[in-house]
Amino acid sequence: MYKEVQLVIQDQIAIITINRPKALNALNTDVFTDLIQLFGNDLPKQDLRGVIITGSGNKAFVAGADIKEFLTLDNDKAMALSQRGQDIFMTIENFHVPVVAAVNGFALGGGCELAMACHIRVAGRSAKFGQPEVNLGIIPGYGGTQRLAQLVGKGKAMELILTGDMIGSEEAERMGLVNKVCDDQDVLEETIKILNKICTKAPLAIRESISAINAGFNQDGFKAEVTSFGRLADSADFKEGALAFIEKRKPNWKGC
């Protein structure tokens, strides 16, 4: 039914697994199509208490986007790609029951953005987070410039996005990016515990709490991110950065 994700529903909890282990569960067109189908159509029809998003294997939650798909982007295509990613992540963020990210391994680029779109993040001790897009000559395009600042503050968000640095799960917890850290093998169990506790509360109050909290953030920044993402996709530096990544070499930046 789904090309790149697996869905299991147990005890009214939907467990969605991004299933591209050979590609470290990188986001591609098919993954987005599956997520749109799930959150836009299939999951709302289920009697759910919560949703968990995780990645297959123990190396990565989602290690980023599929860079090979970026090579053909121009301004218009890049803006459309960014908007599509933002739309599905916004649907996840505004979903009517709690969505929790269960993170093992790498959560980088689009993977970090997916985790941040979830309401709560539980991470294994081996988890690594980061927005390394500047290494490709691009910026986070799926809401990362906005949600990272909302979660960790403007200064730390600037540092992480401008340096492209990765951080471990314990540092991510200290700065507010992660809600809870546990041993790798316990991530799914701890995630289910949190959902089970939430699900003892009044369902309508949970739904309205999600809606009210999300209402407090300005949407204009997301529009600015789409515009900047598209503008950079037309730059020579972006083409060079993407090729250098694929060819496993250092990029030669020109500033144009």
Active site residues: 113, 133
Beta bridge partners of 215: none
DSSP per-residue codes, 209-235: HHHHHHTTS-SHHHHHHHHHHHHHHTS
| Tokens 């159509």 sit on residue | 41
Cβ of 100: how many Cβ atoms within 10 Å? 25
Query: For 40, which DSSP code?
Result: I
Compute the radius of gyration of the chain from its Cα atoms.
17
Angle (CA) 178 224 109, round 5°: 35
Element (H, E) at 112: helix 110-117
Q: Residue 108 to residues 40, 83, 168, 181: CA-CA distances in angstroms?
A: 24, 19, 11, 17
Cβ of 202: how many Cβ atoms within 10 Å? 9
Helices and strands (DSSP H and E) totals, the chain: 10, 10
CA dihedral 45, 50, 55, 57 (to 10 degrees): -110
